[in-house]
């Protein structure tokens, strides 16, 4: 069977993904993000690539599983399948981060943009002006020396004014320095820098996060760290984390800035367990509760006691929704 899978991977994989139990696991991981049939078709198409034909069967199965957990598709450039010798790895792209962030019901779009050193850029009184020639031959982004930083524009479904999250070039440079796999940064610097914008946008909670979206983003970041060999100890200095940047720090505006807000203390931050509990109380669909249960059971960031607390809250919420369905004729 192993030889057959290596010489005719599509047939072997097609038989595996046709299994009812396997499809059931895919459905639990994908939730409402991607129909199972569509996911399977896209994955089999992506695995036809001759460059990954020599990868081991085990790593191919693992790559499919990882794409299902992240609910991302290589055929839409949300994740790229990269052969490392005989091992196939699924690496999320900036499009993958963007897709997961935009699954939050309050988010219409999250658009990352890099600012070239020759671009005209101003940010004043909440209004952003970014001017450049998109067809200019000199506007190339191949290293940190070519950029001043970048920003994510966050558009909301309720029509509220857009929100901007800025990331300085210094932060992007540190993200690259953490990576053991410099080859990927050197070959695709612009794409990796864009992905850093989205990662920073999520890490600093510039976008609203609920458990369904948040857990997938945490899994994407863990997958990235594993594939790139990210290790903060590779940074050239031991400086503490800098305070929140003002727009003046980021883009060099001469306009006066109000004082930065005091950072939230550790004691004021809510834990992941508390975040789940808060959001479960607002869920109105059984499917959301079922998907949250699957995510909690597979989470590596919750200990057993926290999982039990969250799962108990899910059961209570299911009971409340069930009573509501029986009495849905009440005003």
Geometric angle at alpha carbon 134, from 131 and 135, rounded to 5° = 135
The vertex-54 CA angle with 51 and 55, nearest 5°, equals 95
pLDDT tens digits for 202-242?
888 888 766 666 666 676 677 666 666 655 554 455 445 55
- Domain range annotation of the chain: 2-92, 95-251, 271-325
**Residues 240-286: tens digit of each pLDDT:** 555 555 544 444 444 444 444 444 333 334 567 767 776 777 777 88
Say whether pLDDT at 127 is over 60: yes
Angstrom distance (rounded) from CA 158 to CA 102: 14
Whether residue 108 has pLDDT greater than 70: yes
Side-chain-side CA neighbours of residue 229 (13 Å) = 10
Which pTM was predicted?
0.61
Residue 299's alpha-carbon distances to 184, 265, 304, 307, in angstroms, are: 28, 25, 10, 9
Residue 189, token pair as written in the block? 């610097």
On whether the CB atoms of residues 27 and 34 are closer than 8 A, the answer is no
């Amino acid at each position: 069977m192993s030889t057959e899978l290596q010489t005719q991977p599509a047939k072997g994989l097609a038989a595996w993904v046709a299994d009812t139990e396997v499809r059931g696991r895919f459905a639990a991981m994908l939730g409402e993000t991607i129909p199972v049939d569509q996911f399977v078709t896209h994955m089999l198409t992506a695995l036809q690539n001759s460059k990954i034909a020599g990868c081991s069967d085990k790593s191919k199965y693992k790559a499919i599983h990882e794409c299902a957990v992240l609910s991302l598709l290589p055929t839409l450039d949300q994740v790229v399948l990269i052969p490392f010798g005989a091992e196939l790895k699924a690496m999320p792209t900036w499009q993958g981060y963007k897709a997961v962030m935009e699954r939050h019901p309050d988010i219409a779009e999250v658009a990352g943009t890099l600012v070239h050193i020759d671009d005209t850029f101003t940010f004043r009184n909440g209004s952003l002006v970014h001017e450049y020639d998109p067809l200019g031959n000199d506007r190339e982004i191949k290293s940190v020396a070519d950029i001043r930083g970048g920003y994510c524009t966050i558009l909301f479904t309720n029509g509220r004014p857009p929100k901007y999250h800025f990331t300085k070039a210094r932060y992007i440079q540190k993200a690259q320095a953490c990576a053991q796999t410099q080859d990927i940064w050197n070959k695709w610097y612009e794409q990796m820098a864009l992905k850093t914008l989205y990662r920073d946008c999520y890490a600093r909670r510039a976008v609203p996060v609920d458990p369904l979206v948040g857990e997938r983003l945490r899994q994407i970041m863990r997958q990235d760290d594993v594939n790139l060999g990210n290790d903060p100890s590779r940074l050239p200095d031991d400086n503490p984390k800098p305070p929140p940047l003002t727009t003046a720090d980021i883009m060099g505006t001469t306009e006066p800035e109000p004082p930065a807000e005091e950072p939230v203390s550790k004691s004021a931050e809510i834990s992941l367990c508390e975040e789940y509990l808060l959001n479960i109380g607002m869920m109105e669909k059984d499917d959301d509760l079922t998907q949250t249960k699957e995510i909690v059971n597979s989470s590596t960031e919750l200990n057993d006691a926290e999982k039990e607390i969250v799962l108990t809250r899910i059961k209570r919420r299911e009971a409340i929704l069930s009573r509501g369905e029986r009495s849905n004729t009440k005003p």
